[in-house]
């Protein structure tokens, strides 16, 4: 009986020593509601970044932009801003995209990238393309398919 108690005390002592030598690396790490800690660092949910997963990807895109779209050999300067609003952490809406006085919804696929595939606007035009934000500049390319089936390849270059 004394022998078994000795082993139990030795086992408990070694467990206490082991846990004292290997503190929890996530003990003082706060990843908020949008991530979890792994080995002392935050792993953010899709749509979030930052040391505490506090930055939404979509927020980077929000704002009013002016600029131009180039379709074929024709340049269209925006006279009315393209306005980006957030729909979720990974989705935005661009009003007046391409100067069409309509809107498209786009997925934020990475921290600084968007894509839209076969998105039909209220004017029955379909848009497929992608874009990237760098600072206050949003650039990209797209194909617009009109209701009669004709297509046009375009690029856009907008600045907040």
Cβ proximity of 115 and 106 under 8 Å: yes
pLDDT tens-digit readout, 106-126:
999 999 999 999 999 888 999
pLDDT tens-digit readout, 22-55:
789 899 999 999 999 999 999 999 999 999 999 9
Cβ proximity of 116 and 142 under 8 Å: yes
Instruction: Tell me how far CA of residue 122 lies from CA of 24, 50, 62, 85, 95, in angstroms.
Output: 54, 36, 22, 17, 11
pTM score: 0.80
For the chain, what is the largest distance between any 2 Cα atoms, rounded to a whole number of angstroms?
93
- Give the count of beta carbons closer than 10 Å to the beta carbon of residue 61: 22
- Strands 103-110, 91-95: parallel, antiparallel or unpaired by DSSP? antiparallel
Instruction: Tell me how far CA of residue 9 lies from CA of 12, 21, 57, 97, 118, in angstroms.
Output: 5, 18, 53, 72, 68
In the chain, which ranges are continuous DSSP H helix?
Answer: 2-21
pLDDT tens-digit readout, 130-158:
999 999 999 999 999 999 999 999 999 99
- Give the count of beta carbons closer than 10 Å to the beta carbon of residue 42: 22
- Which helix H or strand E contains 149, and what residues bound it? none
pLDDT tens-digit readout, 61-91:
999 999 999 999 999 999 999 999 999 999 9
């Amino acid at each position: 009986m004394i022998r078994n108690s000795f082993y139990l005390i030795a086992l408990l002592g070694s467990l206490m020593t082991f846990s004292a030598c290997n503190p929890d690396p996530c003990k003082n790490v706060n990843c908020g509601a949008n991530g979890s800690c792994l080995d002392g660092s935050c792993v953010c949910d899709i749509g979030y970044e930052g040391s505490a997963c506090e930055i939404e990807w979509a927020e980077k895109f929000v704002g009013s932009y002016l600029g131009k779209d180039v379709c074929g050999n024709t340049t269209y300067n925006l006279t009315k801003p393209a306005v980006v609003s957030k729909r979720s952490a990974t989705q935005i809406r661009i009003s007046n995209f391409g100067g069409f006085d309509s809107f498209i919804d786009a997925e934020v696929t990475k921290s600084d990238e968007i894509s839209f595939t076969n998105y039909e606007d209220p004017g029955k035009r379909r848009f497929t393309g992608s874009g990237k934000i760098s600072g206050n500049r949003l650039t990209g390319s797209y194909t617009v398919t009109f209701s009669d089936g004709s297509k046009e390849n375009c690029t856009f270059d907008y600045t907040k």
